[in-house]
């Protein structure tokens, strides 16, 4: 074959369609391309910390992606209140819930581009400065799960545009309801306002009667309606305070949840839970975030029959604190006093459950036996509350639903969701809340009234049971 024939043969090969070169990618491979000069789509191996099912076809001429691996790179623990393996006893308001996220330096792949990324370390002086901890970074730039990037990412093909690194974003900040804030992630801070859904559940008011001149007497959630009973604490209304129900603006990776009260997702304005079941991210109620760049601690390694051998362990730590206020960790109750015939005949619904008769031996002062809120207090003091938390790569969702449809909502749903990468263990704490006096306790019950099985009831003397979020700060 002379030179001319070889040239024509080469040109003919270049004119063959990509489909003719098609291949099925194996496990942990993805489709890559095309590049310059009309290169074909090919299969490439996923980075070491990523995975993908086999079966991607280059003939589709569509770039596919790999998924980050769920892995407990962070040791997450509740440091306060102290439990000592038994439920802590706390007041209904004013106690401290503290989380510690510890990242051993050994879990950061410095050889693969992992490490700290910042323009300046976050501080009270650098209002908008975020810190980033990347566990690995196979590219020259850092791609985030919100579609943005840090560094000089290539702007031409071939390239990948999916998140290829597990990371934590953090700010050093202090937040409180109603106090304007300019630190933290601006989009998440804006989301923690009333109009954007950061509020407790709003349920149709039944007693006293709704105002028929407003929306026909109907509760329209999210409109500051007088016909709604609002549950949960005051969250600052429209003030951008960085505090409320939702993803935290200072530690976006944190998902904090409970299975009671405002921590559940409700089918508003009804006293019914949403389907499928879901929980709210309460991390937005964190009041402060701080960090330690390097801390040396001792870690023991044991073998059966041997004493522990302490070894030094260097770690990066993030601390998150919540000053708990009444209404954050409380049940939501719907009460039916059954004509005030005596508290032993009253019924209630707890957190959207089925109607249940109040125990006839409920202990309550006799002068309050016509007040459903107060009667519920003696019974509601008994349950133990539980709070759980875990960290994800990037930004945690504002809500977590029963993704695997097993009837429960927990960290496994986040692990099973391909759009979420869990990077820590799940931390759990249990506690028992009590009140200083009966009146403050009844205010925390957050009861609403309805008739489950009888004619309209009369209202007890303790009001309509509205939560503290009924008082909102005025718009700016």
Span 342-352, pLDDT tens digits: 545 677 788 88
pLDDT for res 375: 54
Mean pLDDT of 268-295: 93
pLDDT for res 285: 97
Q: Is 214 exposed, middle or buried (0-12, 13-18, 19+ CB in 10 A)?
A: middle
pLDDT for res 92: 75
pLDDT for res 307: 59
Q: How far is CA 119 from CA 90, 122, 150, 393, in A?
A: 41, 9, 11, 20
b (16+ CB within 10 A) / e for 144-153: bbeeeebeee
Q: Residue 320: pLDDT band by 50, 70, 90 thresholds?
A: very high
Q: Is 61 exposed, middle or buried (0-12, 13-18, 19+ CB in 10 A)?
A: middle
Partners of residue 143 on adjacent β-strands: 149
Q: Residue 157: pLDDT band by 50, 70, 90 thresholds?
A: very low
Mean pLDDT of 161-168: 79
Count of CB atoms situated within 10 Å of the CB of 38 = 10
The continuous run of DSSP H or E covering 204 comes out as strand 202-204
Quick check: 316 and 105 in contact, CB under 8 A? yes
Cα–Cα distance, 184 to 101 (Å, whole number): 18
Q: Regarding predicted confidence, which is higher, 241 or 468?
A: 241
Cα–Cα distance, 434 to 380 (Å, whole number): 9
Is the confidence at residue 454, as pLDDT, over 90?
no
Q: Show Cβ contacts of residue 136 under 8 Å, excluding neighbours closer than 6 positions.
A: 47, 48, 49, 108, 109, 112, 113, 114, 165, 166
Span 194-213, pLDDT tens digits: 999 999 999 988 766 678 88
Break the chain into its structural domains and give their ranges.
3-68
Mean pLDDT across the chain:
78
Backbone angles phi, psi at 21, to 5 degrees: -100, 15
The continuous run of DSSP H or E covering 412 comes out as helix 411-416
Quick check: 163 and 395 in contact, CB under 8 A? no
Name the residue among 314, 293, 292, 310 with its Cα closest to residue 301. 310
pTM over 0.75: yes
Dig out the tokens for 39 from the structure. 């290169």
Q: Residue 104: pLDDT band by 50, 70, 90 thresholds?
A: very high
Quick check: 40 and 34 in contact, CB under 8 A? yes
Report the relative pairing of strands 115-117 and 131-134 from DSSP bridges.
Answer: antiparallel
Mean pLDDT of 286-304: 72
Is the confidence at residue 466, as pLDDT, over 50?
no
Mean pLDDT of 328-353: 73
Q: Residue 77: pLDDT band by 50, 70, 90 thresholds?
A: very high
Cα–Cα distance, 135 to 120 (Å, whole number): 19
Mean pLDDT of 76-97: 84
Coil vs helix vs strand at 351: coil
Is the confidence at residue 165, as pLDDT, over 80?
yes
Quick check: 409 and 400 in contact, CB under 8 A? yes
Is the confidence at residue 9, as pLDDT, over 60?
no
């Amino acid at each position: 074959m002379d030179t001319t024939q070889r040239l024509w043969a080469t040109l003919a090969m270049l004119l063959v369609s990509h489909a003719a070169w098609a291949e099925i990618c194996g496990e942990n491979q993805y489709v890559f391309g095309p590049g310059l000069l009309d290169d074909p789509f090919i299969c490439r191996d996923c980075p070491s910390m990523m995975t993908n099912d086999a079966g991607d076809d280059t003939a589709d001429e569509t770039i596919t992606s790999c998924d980050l691996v769920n892995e407990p790179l962070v040791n997450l623990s509740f440091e306060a209140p102290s439990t000592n393996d038994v439920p802590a006893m706390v007041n209904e308001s004013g106690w401290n819930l503290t989380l510690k996220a510890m990242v051993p330096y050994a879990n950061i792949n410095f050889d693969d581009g992992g490490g700290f990324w910042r323009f300046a370390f976050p501080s009270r002086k650098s209002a908008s400065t975020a810190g980033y901890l990347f566990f690995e970074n196979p590219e020259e730039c850092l791609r985030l799960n919100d579609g943005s990037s840090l560094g000089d990412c290539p702007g031409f093909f071939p390239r990948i545009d999916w998140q290829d690194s597990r990371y934590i974003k953090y700010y050093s900040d202090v937040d409180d309801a109603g106090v304007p804030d300019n630190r933290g992630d601006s989009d998440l801070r804006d989301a923690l306002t009333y109009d954007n859904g950061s509020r407790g559940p709003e349920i149709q008011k039944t007693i006293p009667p709704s105002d028929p001149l407003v929306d026909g007497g109907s509760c329209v959630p999210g409109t500051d309606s007088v016909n709604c009973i609002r549950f949960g604490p005051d969250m600052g209304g429209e003030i951008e305070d960085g505090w409320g129900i939702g993803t935290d603006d200072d530690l976006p990776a944190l998902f904090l949840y409970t299975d009671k009260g405002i921590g559940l997702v409700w089918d508003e304005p009804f006293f019914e839970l949403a389907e499928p079941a879901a929980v709210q991210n309460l991390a937005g109620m964190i009041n402060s975030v701080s960090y330690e760049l390097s801390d040396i601690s001792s870690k023991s390694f044991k073998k059966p029959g041997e004493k522990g051998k302490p070894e030094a362990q260097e770690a990066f730590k993030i601390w998150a604190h919540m000053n708990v206020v009444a209404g954050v960790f409380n049940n939501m109750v719907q009460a039916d006093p059954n004509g005030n015939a005596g508290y032993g005949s009253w019924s209630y619904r707890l957190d959207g459950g089925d109607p249940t008769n109040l125990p006839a031996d409920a202990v309550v002062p006799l002068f309050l036996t016509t007040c459903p809120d107060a009667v519920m207090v003696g019974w509601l003091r008994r349950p133990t509350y539980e709070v759980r938390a875990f960290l994800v790569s990037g930004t945690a969702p504002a809500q977590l639903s029963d993704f695997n449809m097993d009837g429960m909502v927990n960290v496994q749903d986040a692990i099973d969701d391909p759009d979420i990468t869990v990077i820590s263990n799940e931390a759990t704490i249990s506690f028992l809340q009590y009140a200083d006096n009966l009146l403050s306790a009844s205010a925390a019950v957050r009861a609403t009234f309805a008739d489950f099985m009888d004619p309209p009831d009369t209202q007890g003397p303790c009001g309509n049971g509205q939560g503290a979020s009924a008082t909102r700060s005025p718009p700016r």
